[in-house]
């Protein structure tokens, strides 16, 4: 994407459906047999299309109905589905690990390639497998493929997650839905995606109770039924455009947001002196007289500051008035974007899991490379604020999570263009 920077963004956009909520909620359809799961507000993204392909490859018919202001998918599930997940499709997206729980629970067995590492860290699924084993699954790994099976049904039980892993929480909630008896999972992830998944499980008849103590209680049931659920708005996409508005000193509105989902971001932006107001499900960003103050940020599992907004915040703080720090405590290596920002004139030093960001007056356009989805987004908003022209290469990473980002930015007055 070629960006001509320095233009204050102006106008109104609407948040897409949340990628990280849609992926597990779509996998819920694999618990059905001869029934339909209908989902509203499913974003049109690479990763979503990969998940649709994975689900269709198992035998489900996905009816996609998209129009100007409608994005609905109906998953019509046959009486029988396959339990071997396509390797080349699964290797395209780590989120394919979310098929483990529902396919094992509904078929009694599943084969799925172990997800590979990626640029932000090792990304193991040991907590997913440990929980499934505790529910009675036999698990073997042979040349990179996970083979899980269970005689009869999985058994409900109390499970403690060593880390509030989002994916492990989601897989085990789906597995527990058809298990025999009650499952209680402690120390679960608290991301809003978990609430969306709980709602999707309830809509097909699974009794799910999220407890304030950071646990969830699920009664395994014999049979589920068709259901209809809506995907929540994408809090990470929202944060990305908020920071784009701030970095270009623009005046924008973002509609269909859930303010409580971005509390941590808003608190840090307020601390940094950003000017914005929130009314119901709309946030309005105002031009500020002065650049952001420097702040210290530490990423944490929800409701802490989200790791998925860390690169974008790094870009915003690279032009703050002083020295900021960001500590990345969730992933091992989520600072690859810093070197690319430094090529645009930023002054970011990394030591292990801490970035020290010395704010500069202005970034300068350069040719930079996206290394992962959120790093790509950080480079785009940096380019929007930089002086001159920026080219962000390897946009394939960005298309995984940002629906029509070129069109949305153009509608806000940005001079952006896709170049091959």
Binding-site ranges for ligand EPZ (CB under 6 A): 19-20, 23, 95, 121-128, 163, 165-168, 189, 307-308, 330-331, 373-374, 401
DSSP H or E run through 19: helix 19-27
Name the minimum Å distance from CB 275 to ligand EPZ: 27
DSSP H or E run through 146? strand 145-149
Cα separation, 401 vs 17, whole angstroms: 10
Q: Which residue has tokens 């994407």?
A: 1
- Tokens 């908020």 appear where? 242
Closest CB to ligand EPZ among residues 10, 130: 130
Residue 168 CB, shortest distance to ligand EPZ, in Å, is 5
Q: Report the C-alpha gap between 282 and 343 in whole angstroms.
A: 35
184 and 213 Cβ atoms separated by less than 8 Å? no
Residue 194 CB, nearest distance to ligand EPZ (Å)? 10
118 labelled catalytic? yes
- Determine the residue with CB nearest ligand EPZ: 167
Residue 419 backbone class (left: φ over 0; alpha: ψ -120 to 50; beta: rest):
beta
Count of beta carbons in the 10 Å neighbourhood of residue 393: 15
Out of 107, 118, 203, 239, the active site residue is 118
3-state secondary structure of 152: coil
Q: What SS3 state is found at 20?
A: helix
Measured from the CB of residue 290, what is the shortest distance to ligand EPZ in angstroms?
Answer: 31
Q: Would you tell me how many other CB atoms lie within 10 Å of the CB of residue 171?
A: 27
| Residue found under tokens 């008035």 | 321
Tell me whether residue 412 is exposed, middle or buried, using C-beta atoms within 10 angstroms of its C-beta: 0 to 12, 13 to 18, 19 or more.
buried
Minimum distance of ligand EPZ from residue 205's CB (angstroms): 24
- Rounded distance between C-alpha atoms, residue 220 and residue 61, angstroms: 26
Alpha-carbon distance values, 50 to 71, 118, 232, 253 (Å): 16, 17, 20, 31
Q: What minimum distance in Å lies between the beta carbon of 146 and ligand EPZ?
A: 12
Q: What is the DSSP letter of 279?
A: E
Tell me how far, at minimum, the Cβ of 25 lies from ligand EPZ, in Å. 11
The residues, ordered by sequence, that sit 6+ positions from 215 with a Cβ below 8 Å of its Cβ are: 184, 185, 186, 187, 188
Helices (H), 157-262: 166-177, 192-203, 235-247
Residues forming the active site = 118
């Amino acid at each position: 994407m070629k960006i001509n920077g320095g233009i204050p963004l102006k106008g109104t956009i609407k948040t897409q459906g949340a990628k990280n909520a849609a992926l597990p909620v779509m996998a819920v359809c694999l618990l059905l047999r001869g029934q339909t799961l209908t989902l509203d507000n499913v974003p049109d993204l690479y990763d979503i299309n990969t998940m649709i392909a994975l689900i269709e490859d198992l035998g489900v018919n996905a009816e996609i109905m998209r129009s100007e202001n409608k994005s609905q998918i109906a998953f019509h599930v046959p009486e029988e589905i396959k339990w071997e997940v396509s390797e080349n499709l699964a290797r395209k997206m780590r989120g394919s690990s979310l098929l483990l729980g529902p396919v094992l629970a509904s078929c009694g067995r599943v084969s799925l390639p172990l997800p590979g590492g990626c640029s932000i860290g090792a990304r193991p699924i040991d907590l997913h497998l440990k929980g499934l084993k505790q529910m009675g699954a036999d698990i073997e790994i042979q040349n990179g493929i996970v083979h899980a099976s269970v005689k009869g049904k999985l058994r409900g039980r109390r499970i403690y997650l060593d880390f509030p892993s989002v994916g492990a929480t989601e897989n085990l909630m789906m597995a527990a839905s058809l298990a025999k008896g009650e499952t209680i999972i402690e120390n679960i992830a608290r991301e809003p995606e978990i609430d969306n998944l709980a709602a999707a499980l309830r809509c097909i008849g699974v009794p799910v109770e999220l407890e304030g103590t950071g646990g969830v209680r699920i009664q395994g049931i014999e049979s589920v039924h068709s259901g209809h659920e809506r995907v929540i708005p994408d809090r990470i996409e929202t944060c990305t455009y908020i920071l784009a508005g701030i970095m270009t000193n623009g005046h924008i509105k973002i509609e269909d947001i859930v303010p409580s989902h971005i509390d941590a971001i808003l608190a840090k932006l307020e601390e940094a002196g950003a000017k914005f107001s929130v009314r119901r499900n709309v946030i309005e960003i105002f031009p500020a007289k002065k650049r952001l103050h420097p702040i210290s940020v530490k990423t944490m599992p929800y409701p802490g500051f989200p790791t998925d907004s860390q690169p974008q915040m790094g870009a915003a703080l690279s032009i703050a008035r002083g020295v900021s720090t960001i500590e990345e405590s969730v992933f091992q290596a989520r600072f690859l974007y810093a070197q690319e920002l430094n090529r645009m004139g930023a002054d970011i030093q990394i030591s292990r899991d801490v970035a020290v960001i010395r704010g500069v007056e202005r970034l300068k356009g350069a040719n930079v490379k996206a290394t992962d989805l959120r790093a790509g987004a950080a480079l785009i908003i940096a380019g929007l604020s930089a002086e001159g022209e920026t080219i962000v290469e390897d946009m394939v990473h960005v298309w995984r999570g940002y629906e029509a980002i070129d069109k949305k930015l153009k509608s806000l007055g940005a001079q952006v263009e896709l170049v091959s």
